[in-house]
Amino acid sequence: MGQEVVVLDGDSLTIKSLLEITRKGKKVELSEEAIKKIKKSRKIIESKLDKDEIIYGVSTGFGKLSDAVISPSERGILQTKLIKSHSIGFGPFLPDEIVLGAMIIELNSFCRGASGIRIEIAELLQKLINEKVIPQVPSVGSLGASGDLSPLAYIARILIGEGKAKFNNEVLKGSEILKRIESTPIELQAKEGLSLINGTHVLTSFAAHSVYDSINVLENSVLAVGLTLEAFDGNTRAFSSFVSNLRPHKGQIKFAKAILDILEGSTLLKTEPKRIQDPYSIRCSPQVHGAVLDVICHCKRVVEIELNSTTDNPLINLETSEVISGGNFHGEPIGLAMDYLCIAMTDLGNISERRVNLLLDASISGLPSFLIKEPGLNSGLMMIQYLDAAIAAENKILASPASIDNISVSANQEDHVSMGFTASKKAYQLVRNIVQMVAIEFYTAYQALGFKEDKNKISNIVLEIFNFISKDIPLLTEDKFFDEEVNWVARKIENQLFTDIAKKKLGHIFGDNL
């Protein structure tokens, strides 16, 4: 077992380790203790079936049909029929990393030994993950209670040799993929179909990737503010520890300190400010960005609890051998957290757009209009704010909470659903929008810094970022196509190249424990 393996035990999966599998290609292994738990929980189920005990979804139908008792000879058939009947969705297929993440989260959930599956199910799921088999899962169909029934059914189809999935850049039938990885279709037994589709794994995968990317874009937003402050000749006194300590929210304190660290060496820290007070989008950035940081930290805690939870139903108690019906499949914890994240990230975009406006408005910034020589003949960066505003408008729609909605289903048996899948899916999209907005601020501030005659007066970190960009993007001297240049900046944000520059000098931006 080397560094390229993440061991799943049901208790220690983190957002970071999940993404090391989905984005960096690490493989998974099951811990010895997890294997023991899985086998023990299956023995409990089989023992109860031998005694003809009535167990929901094992010896009965599902949802409103739970009063229907299923004969022993039909219990395996019931589970296969469940996969077939619940494979209903539409829309573009989910991103590969989201589907793979859901499979990992599901396998980690099985490691807790509360689901009653055979070890063969876990082993095949592990193999599919390690072979990077990506089931094709439609993006619409889950209510986030009972978990992600529809999308998980599409994943489960591959285990029984049905459906389609991507494998080695080909889209193949499930049966063909199993042949290629030298496996055979699973014949589902009692409880197993239900365990495979009854969980919050897909919405949690969306949430985990969204939180990780939110942390990255927020760290980059600190650098963007640093560039804007230098270009705007901003007043840094508002970032003093004296101010933050009088209102000791952790996020505000961390953000203000990070700004001062990034501006180390700048004459802004040593000279009289150009203005007594800057506009709110600069002066209040610790209060706004810091509040966003606090929201992200909350969401991270919620998601990492969910990563190491069992959201199946019914659940097997390994200590007492009881089988208990509960509601862990309900996606409300993640749904609420993702709606919260959407609201916070939307306002992060709002304040960034306002700083872009400051830099483009000559009457406020003192810089050339729209950051171009000969404005009038040239439009410069006029349209970049239009793009910023369009993204901001879309974000406000995406920030509308999904978790406040409810539509009763299954003949009112499932009369309250979380819509957590929708909340998580839109968070994933919204965070990508914010990457583009922060890229716009980077690009605008970079062009504004080009008008500073003495670059030695700006901080070392800001200067290094400026020089890094200038190697690939020449400063604007006349109108040109620059959309691909903005996209270039966005890719560098996603790949953490700007934050790497800062972290080489500072060690971290907000602290090692984020």
Whether the CB-CB separation of 429 and 209 falls below 8 Å is answered with no
Amino acid residing at 453 = E
212 has catalytic annotation: no
Classify residue 494: in a domain, yes or no: yes
Give start and end residues of each alpha helix (H) in 87-200: 96-110, 119-130, 149-159, 174-180, 192-197
Q: Which two tokens stand for residue 341?
A: 């994240």
Angle 201-232/250-262 helices, nearest 10 degrees?
50
Coil, helix or strand at residue 274: coil
ω into residue 314 within 30 of 0, thus cis? yes
498, containing H or E segment: helix 497-506
245 has catalytic annotation: no
Classify residue 174: in a domain, yes or no: yes
Catalytic residue among 97, 192, 230, 414: 414
Whether the CB-CB separation of 451 and 462 falls below 8 Å is answered with no
Whether the CB-CB separation of 208 and 15 falls below 8 Å is answered with yes
Same domain, 188 and 282: no
280 has catalytic annotation: yes
291, containing H or E segment: helix 285-307
Summarize pLDDT for 161-178 with one digit per residue, the tens: 999 999 999 999 999 999
Same domain, 188 and 254: no
86 has catalytic annotation: yes
Catalytic residue among 108, 198, 328, 378: 198
- Provide the domain limits for residue 131: 5-199
Same domain, 383 and 455: yes
For residue 138, the cross-strand partners are 93
Classify residue 514: in a domain, yes or no: no
- CATH code of the domain in which 416 resides: 1.20.200.10
Same domain, 100 and 243: no
Q: Which two tokens stand for residue 71?
A: 């004969």
421 has catalytic annotation: no
Catalytic residue among 280, 317, 478, 491: 280
Same domain, 364 and 487: yes
Q: Which of 164, 181, 199 is the last residue of a domain?
A: 199
CA 289 – CA 244 distance, rounded (Å): 13
Of 446, 429, 338, give the one whose Cα is nearest residue 391.
429
Classify residue 513: in a domain, yes or no: no
pLDDT, residue 464, reads 97
DSSP 347-385: HHHHHHHHHHHHHH-HHHH-SPGGG-SSBTTB-TTHHHH
Summarize pLDDT for 66-116 with one digit per residue, the tens: 889 999 999 999 999 999 999 999 999 999 999 999 999 999 999 999 999
Same domain, 189 and 249: no
CA 106 – CA 125 distance, rounded (Å): 9
CA atoms within 13 A on the CB side of 292: 29
Catalytic residue among 42, 75, 118, 283: 283
Same domain, 172 and 259: no
Classify residue 511: in a domain, yes or no: no
CA 293 – CA 268 distance, rounded (Å): 25
Whether the CB-CB separation of 131 and 35 falls below 8 Å is answered with no
Domain total in the chain:
2
Same domain, 19 and 69: yes
Classify residue 449: in a domain, yes or no: yes
pLDDT, residue 416, reads 81
pLDDT, residue 1, reads 42
Same domain, 35 and 176: yes
Q: Which of 199, 229, 251 is the last residue of a domain?
A: 199
Whether the CB-CB separation of 434 and 217 falls below 8 Å is answered with yes
For residue 27, the cross-strand partners are 5
For residue 171, the cross-strand partners are 166
Catalytic residue among 42, 86, 157, 330: 86
Same domain, 243 and 195: no
Classify residue 160: in a domain, yes or no: yes
Integer Rg of the chain from CA: 26
Of 91, 63, 60, give the one whose Cα is nearest residue 78.
60
334, containing H or E segment: helix 332-360
- CATH code of the domain in which 167 resides: 1.10.275.10
Classify residue 344: in a domain, yes or no: yes
Q: Which of 166, 199, 232 is the last residue of a domain?
A: 199
Same domain, 274 and 418: yes
Catalytic residue among 239, 329, 340, 442: 329
pLDDT, residue 512, reads 61
Q: Which two tokens stand for residue 504?
A: 């080489």
CA 37 – CA 498 distance, rounded (Å): 44
Same domain, 192 and 244: no
pLDDT, residue 419, reads 86
Q: Which residues of the chain have pLDDT under 70?
A: 1-3, 512-514
Catalytic residue among 20, 23, 56, 482: 56
pLDDT, residue 137, reads 98
For residue 11, the cross-strand partners are none
Q: How many residues does the chain have?
A: 514
